[in-house]
Amino acid sequence: MTVTMFLLGLLYVAFVVALIVLLKSWLLVVVLVGAMFVAQFWFSDRIAMFAMRGRVVEREEYPELHAVVDRLCAIADMPKPVVAVSEMDMPNAFATGRNPDHAVVCVTTGLLRRLEPAELEGVLAHELSHVAHKDVAVITIASFLGVIAGLIVRFAFYSQVFGGGRRDQNTAVVFAAVMGVSAAVYAISFLLIRALSRYRELAADRAAAHLTGRPSALASALTKVSGDIARIPTKDLRTAQAFNAFYFTPATGKEPGIEQYFSTHPTLEQRLDQLGRISAELGEAAAPGKAD
Phi, psi of 102 (to 5 degrees): -135, 60
Which pLDDT score, from 0 to 100, does residue 233 have?
53
What angle is formed at CA 176 by the lines to CA 174 and CA 182, rounded to 5 degrees?
100
Single pTM value for the model:
0.73
Q: What is the DSSP string of 181-217?
A: HHHHHHHHHHHHHHHHHHHHHHHHHHHHHHHHS-HHH
**pLDDT higher than threshold 90 for residue 66:** yes
**Would the annotation count 102 as a binding residue?**
no
Greater pLDDT, 217 or 33: 217
123 closest CA partner among 39, 199, 201, 193 = 201
Q: What is the DSSP string of 95-162?
A: EEEEETTEEEEEEEHHHHHH--HHHHHHHHHHHHHHHHTTHHHHHHHHHHHHHHHHHHHHHHHH-STT
Q: Reduced to 3 states, what is the DSSP secondary structure of residue 56?
A: strand
C-alpha torsion 284→286→288→292, nearest 10? -100
Phi, psi of 284 (to 5 degrees): 55, 15
Other CB atoms closer than 10 Å to residue 164's CB: what's the count?
7
Residues identified as active-site: 127
DSSP state at residue 253:
S
**Would the annotation count 126 as a binding residue?**
yes
**Would the annotation count 130 as a binding residue?**
yes
**pLDDT higher than threshold 60 for residue 64:** yes
Least confident of 101-105, 164-168, 252-256: 164-168
23-61 pLDDT per residue, tens: 666 676 667 666 766 666 676 667 677 777 889 999 999
203 closest CA partner among 145, 262, 278, 255 = 278
Other CB atoms closer than 10 Å to residue 188's CB: what's the count?
18
Domains in the chain with CATH codes: 1-212 (3.30.2010.10)
DSSP state at residue 81:
P
Least confident of 48-62, 101-115, 120-134: 48-62
CA distance 8 to 88: 34
Which pLDDT score, from 0 to 100, does residue 151 have?
57
DSSP state at residue 286:
P
- What is the average pLDDT across 235-255? 60
Which pLDDT score, from 0 to 100, does residue 9 have?
59
- Confidence band, pLDDT 50/70/90 cuts, at residue 289: very low
Which pLDDT score, from 0 to 100, does residue 108 have?
92
191-200 pLDDT per residue, tens: 877 888 899 9
